[in-house]
Amino acid sequence: MAAQRRVERRQAIVRVKTGCLTCRRRKKKCDESRPECRGCVRNHLTCQWPQTVLWDATPPYHSSHECGPNASPIGPAGRFTPQFHDWQPDPRSTPTSSDDAFITAEDGGAALSGPSAGSQVLTIQPEEFGYHYDEVSTYSEPENRRTSVARQPDTIEHPLSMFPNSGPHSQDLLQHYLARTAISMGNGSTEVNPFIVQLIPLAFSKDLILQLLLTQSAVHRARLGSNSELTVANSYYAKSLRLFQTSLDNHIQHNGDHALELATGALIMCFVETARGDIDGVVFDHLGAASSLLLKFIDGPDSRVPEGMRKFLVEYYAYTATLAMISVNPTHNTQRILVPSLMAAAHQLLAEDYIGHLCGCWLQLLLLIPRVFDLGIRAYAPPVATEPAFPSSDDFVTFSALQANILSFSPAPDSRPDVKVAGLIYQKAVLLYLYTVLDALPRECSGPGPCENLIRVTLREAMELLAKLSPIARINTSLCWPIAVIGAVISDAVEQTILRDRLQTMFANIGLGNIEATTRLLDQMWLQPKEARNPWTICKTMQEHQLWISFA
């Protein structure tokens, strides 16, 4: 009878790298049965699985020059090119599973897709970023294994933390950064978001960068959340400041080679202050630290700094520094925040027709702001005995040249419609910045200024352009500076209300604190007489009301 009994053969168990963590630690075969594999059940062990990483990664706009709908997100050399929607979220919402996507990376490249059938799953390889799962395992036996993300669309496991040294909220904050913060910081001018593509890989290899990104996420989430989230944000903010100071001290004392990490960290701190709504001018301290650190590897070629990262950091600096100049009092011409070699690197980007997530297609206009500021110093600073009084013939030549350069600006033809409109809004704002330089001239009998008609026409065109752009469009994250310049000139109460309502809608959707601070600044300026305010008095209003904010 025993010979006749049918013997059922057990299915062969194949040793793979995607089994449960328990079997991988024991170096045993795993049949990958969920929620408990046969090996763990047989040996009465707790079966644990890696965590599933989620973030929003649905495709964005498709312009005429883009690939077709079936084009792969894999770029040249097998590199992954992320794509995103134009973001229009509920201001108080948090990412849900319906908005998330699963991520996967194979050995030859990576792909990103939604959780639909047939989509790929990204397997994270922490070893590539200097991270090892051993550091967070509860088991004592060390072993470097490749961690993978198993596809579980309907359930979320509760595995060990990927970031044991970054606090209990680190995974939630990373998810919020990917789903909301990174999208809020970039204006969407390009398909590839450098706040993800450039900074996230660096964060997996540098604890300082990871901590700063989590802090940025915590601060941004707190602007839209509850008091408990504000407590978490304050905790991360304090820890980041201590960690950054410690890293900087170690770099100085031991002449370390951490310039890239610290320069990137200083620039991230600038945007932490932007999200926080800093009114104390702390952002300018971070900007000064970043400029000295950037010089160490921006001046010459450095094989350790990828070209994409180098360009992003130069754009990062040029965008923040040029927009910060409006906060500098032109009567004190010793206050200079620009570094010539870094600005030269920014001009090189302009020569390459660079379009970025911060400067959009209007880098040309940003680089004209320092020249307008220099003319403003001539107009507003006390006269110098050795120099001709303003306006001299040279001043008129400079004024005409700047006006011609600004008027010659034309958005890149392949830019999206909203990016083109934003570029034209910047053009009108820089023109207003230039025209109001002549407000420094004495007026006879309180009559109109020398550029009154030009200002009125430019202001009307600027308001018409703003009306074409939805206040919930993602591109609005870059419009605080032009709105502040336009608002400083507006005298009509109806138009002031339009700007105030627009800023409030922008803050509700984007959630960056500097948008709210811009509203407060304009409210203070609108209390002043029309003749006593223009873009050149913004710094005075900041000083009087202690509102040292960044428009970047």
Q: Do 206 and 344 belong to one domain?
A: yes
Whether residue 37 contacts residue 19, with contact meaning beta carbons closer than 8 Å, is answered with: yes
Is residue 375 in a domain? yes
Provide the domain count of the chain.
2
At residue 71 the predicted structure's pLDDT band, cuts being 50, 70 and 90, is very low
- Token pair 């206009």 is found at 365
Average pLDDT, the chain: 77
pLDDT-wise least confident of 35-44, 95-104, 268-277, 386-395: 95-104
Residues in Cβ contact with 357 at an 8 Å cutoff, skipping those fewer than 6 apart: 185, 186, 187, 188, 189, 190, 193, 194, 195, 315
Q: Do 319 and 256 belong to one domain?
A: yes
Question: Does 53 or 395 have the greater pLDDT score?
Answer: 395
Is residue 410 in a domain? yes
* Residue 547 reports pLDDT greater than 90: no
* Residue 66 reports pLDDT greater than 50: no
Closest CA to 201 of 106, 148, 273, 125: 125
At residue 24 the predicted structure's pLDDT band, cuts being 50, 70 and 90, is confident
Q: Do 350 and 402 belong to one domain?
A: no
Give per-residue pLDDT as tens, 511-536. 999 999 999 999 999 999 988 899 99
Q: Do 531 and 397 belong to one domain?
A: yes
Q: What is the pLDDT of residue 404?
A: 97
Q: What is the pLDDT of residue 301?
A: 58
Is residue 312 in a domain? yes
Question: Among residues 331, 355, 379, which one ends one of the domains?
Answer: 355
Is residue 415 in a domain? yes
At residue 186 the predicted structure's pLDDT band, cuts being 50, 70 and 90, is very high
Q: What is the pLDDT of residue 443?
A: 56
Q: Do 301 and 372 belong to one domain?
A: no
Is residue 302 in a domain? yes
Q: What is the mean pLDDT of residues 197-208?
A: 92
Q: What is the pLDDT of residue 296?
A: 78
Is residue 328 in a domain? yes
* Residue 412 reports pLDDT greater than 50: yes
- For residues 515 and 459, give the distance between their C-alpha atoms in angstroms, rounded to a whole number: 21
Q: Do 379 and 496 belong to one domain?
A: yes
At residue 449 the predicted structure's pLDDT band, cuts being 50, 70 and 90, is low
Q: Do 274 and 365 belong to one domain?
A: no
Q: Do 301 and 412 belong to one domain?
A: no
Q: What is the mean pLDDT of residues 456-470?
A: 97
CB atoms within 10 A of CB 429: 27
Question: Among residues 298, 325, 355, which one ends one of the domains?
Answer: 355
Is residue 95 in a domain? no
- The whole domain housing 442 covers 360-551
Q: Do 377 and 398 belong to one domain?
A: yes
Whole-structure pTM over 0.85, yes or no? no
Q: Directed axis angle between helix 480-489 and helix 452-468, to 10°?
A: 140
Q: Do 181 and 250 belong to one domain?
A: yes
At residue 111 the predicted structure's pLDDT band, cuts being 50, 70 and 90, is very low
Question: Does 164 or 320 have the greater pLDDT score?
Answer: 320
CB atoms within 10 A of CB 67: 9
Q: Do 441 and 315 belong to one domain?
A: no
Q: What is the pLDDT of residue 343?
A: 93
Q: Do 286 and 351 belong to one domain?
A: yes
At residue 168 the predicted structure's pLDDT band, cuts being 50, 70 and 90, is low
- For residues 485 and 183, give the distance between their C-alpha atoms in angstroms, rounded to a whole number: 25
* Residue 160 reports pLDDT greater than 80: no
Question: Among residues 295, 324, 355, which one ends one of the domains?
Answer: 355
pLDDT-wise least confident of 202-206, 265-269, 305-309, 521-525: 305-309
Q: What is the pLDDT of residue 198?
A: 93
Is residue 474 in a domain? yes
